[in-house]
């Protein structure tokens, strides 16, 4: 099985993370687990990549963080939620992806 190179997907980490935050706030480990599961283990995001994305997106106003107890009443976790600005950014990135896919497809041989 081929895994996705982090170089190839780097520009879409924000899109992936924002997608996962659309339904409900979440925290880093859970998001990492969801990415791994939904991609059928084809993409495993590095912890440093994930937290760099959170920092960048929070700075840009796409997400906001807050602390909360985990469901078991154990340790406090930092959760992230998407903002209205983040929802708009997500839509822009989805449109960009459609265009990117269209262009790259022009240069992909179906049989090599």
pLDDT digits (tens, 9 = 90+) for 5-61: 778 888 899 999 999 999 999 999 999 999 999 999 999 999 999 999 999 999 999
pLDDT for 7 equals 81
pLDDT for 70 equals 65
Largest CA distance in the chain: 55
pLDDT for 71 equals 64
Task: Give the chain's radius of gyration (CA, Å).
Answer: 16
pLDDT for 6 equals 76
Dist CA 16 CA 38 (whole Å): 10
| Residue 64 near residue 56, CB atoms below 8 Å | no
Instruction: Identify the residue with better confidence: 58 or 112.
Output: 58
Cβ contacts of residue 95 below 8 Å, gap of 6+? none
Dist CA 42 CA 61 (whole Å): 29
Dist CA 77 CA 70 (whole Å): 6
**Predicted confidence (pLDDT) per residue in 66-98, tens digit:** 998 766 667 889 999 999 999 999 999 999 999
Strand order in the sheet with 26-27: 26-27, 76-82, 63-69
Query: Would you tell me how many other CB atoms lie within 10 Å of the CB of residue 93?
Result: 18
């Amino acid at each position: 099985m081929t895994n996705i190179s982090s170089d190839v997907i780097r520009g879409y980490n924000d899109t992936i993370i924002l997608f996962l935050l659309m339904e409900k706030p979440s925290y880093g480990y859970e998001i990492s687990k969801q990415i791994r599961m939904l991609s059928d283990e084809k993409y495993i995001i590095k912890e440093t990549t994930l937290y760099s994305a959170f920092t960048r997106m929070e700075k840009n106003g796409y997400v906001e963080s807050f602390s909360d107890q985990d469901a078991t009443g154990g340790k406090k976790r930092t959760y992230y939620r998407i903002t209205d600005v983040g929802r708009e950014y997500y839509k822009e990135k989805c449109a960009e992806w459609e265009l990117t896919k269209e262009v790259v497809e022009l240069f992909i041989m179906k049989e090599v």
